[in-house]
Amino acid sequence: MSYNNPNTGSGSRTASGRFEFGRTHVVRPKGKHQATIVWLHGLGDKGSSWSQLLETLPLPNIKWICPTAPSRPVALFGGFPCTAWFDMGDISEDAPDDMEGLDASAAHVANLLSTEPADIKLGVGGFSMGAATALYSATCRVLGQYGNGNPYPVNLSAIVGLSGWLPCSRTLRNRMEGSHEAARHAASLPILLCHGLVDDVVAHKHGEKSAQTLSAAGFRNLMFRTYNGLGHYTIPEETDEVCTWLTASLGLEGSRSY
């Protein structure tokens, strides 16, 4: 797989060795605030790229929070630094998962959502590596804990992943087995996955396999949509589907049932 023109940075670490997250951009709801969604950008991108698009969507009841990932060395680029939610090499079932990076980003997302009012529905979405982080957050929510065992603190009501994949897919089913609570949460958590059939960065087969793995692990409220002719980007047809799905799944004002 390949990424073009990464937005490079210095790979700054804090004194504790943790990577610092970048600037967060917020899109305020234009109508009654009913839901808050953290939206995560792709590798080498920044939060403002997506906040500008999300602001144009006809979803007046949603507040969007668009953080920026830390700049860190990425194995895919031979250790060259760029904004990334976690370290990664090639996408494959055999590739090692950066559990520390995944947990740190999932915790950052949860912290952003934890201060929202109690009556507001919460969600996570993203594109490419951001979608992978959103799906990892979904597994943390269902299992009730991060990969390191610390408790996951927020209740998620919707997950959206565009052109992404599922990290830690090899171990998910084993971790789910034996937990009735995890099975119950998985069955009720709405997930929308969208993928372009001619994606040359994150191949369609990775998105399809991720959806199959999630379904086999008990995520029954899952929709996987394929777009013919779509590469590694988004199009109005896809964002329209996201709007319709979020409105129905979150019960937003003006929603219509399928």
Assigned token pair, 249:
């799944």
Angle between helices 169-176 and 180-188 (to 10 degrees): 120
| Tens-digit pLDDT profile for residues 57-66 | 999 999 999 9
Q: What is the pLDDT of residue 95?
A: 76
Q: Is residue 186 very low, low, confident or very high in pLDDT (cuts 50, 70, 90)?
A: very high
pTM of the model: 0.91
Q: Active site includes 157? A: no
Q: What is the length of the chain?
A: 258
| Torsion region of 118: left, alpha or beta (phi above 0 gives left; psi -120 to 50 gives alpha) | alpha
From the list 41, 185, 206, 232, the catalytic residue is 232
From the list 105, 128, 163, 249, the catalytic residue is 128
Q: What is the pLDDT of residue 3?
A: 35
From the list 45, 199, 210, 249, the catalytic residue is 199
Percentage of the chain beyond pLDDT 90 is: 81
For 57, counting Cβ atoms within 10 Å of its Cβ (0-12 exposed, 13-18 middle, 19+ buried), the class is: middle
Cα–Cα distance between 231 and 7 in angstroms, integer? 20
Q: What is the pLDDT of residue 17?
A: 52
Burial 147-176 (b: 16+ CB within 10 A, else e): beeeebebebbbbbbbbbbbbbbeebeebb
pLDDT surpassing 60 at residue 11: no
Q: What is the pLDDT of residue 179?
A: 85
Cα–Cα distance between 246 and 249 in angstroms, integer? 5
Q: Active site includes 105? A: no
| Tens-digit pLDDT profile for residues 103-122 | 999 999 999 999 999 999 99
Q: Active site includes 204? A: no
Cα–Cα distance between 107 and 198 in angstroms, integer? 33
Facing residues of 40 across strands?
126
